[in-house]
Amino acid sequence: MTLNDKLERFFLEHLATPIDGKDLAGTVGTYAWRTRVSDVRKRFKAKGGDILNRQRRIVIGKDTVITRSEYMAVLP
């Protein structure tokens, strides 16, 4: 099983659930995980679905803002 296969299976097990990018990196490796998401997105699109991405800004304390990148797989 390739890392792309592993990621696809992970998304299929978590359909319609936003997943933090850090969790994806922990699942399929720190390096090139974004490329793997792109590759798996093509697989989902071939099935009529997609992997959506959203950026959320979270305020922590008075002067700190972090950006969280989340991905969500959807199928028809």
Local confidence pLDDT in tens for the 76 residues of the chain:
999 999 999 999 999 999 999 999 999 999 999 999 999 999 999 999 999 999 999 999 888 999 999 999 999 9
Q: CA 49, 16, 1: angle at the middle one, nearest 5?
A: 70
- pLDDT of 20 reads 95
Please name the residues in contact with 39: beta carbons below 8 A apart, sequence gap of 6 or more. Answer: 4
- pLDDT of 18 reads 96
Single pTM value for the model: 0.88
Instruction: List the domains of the chain with CATH numbers.
Output: 3-74 (1.10.10)
The residue to which tokens 């978590």 are assigned: 14
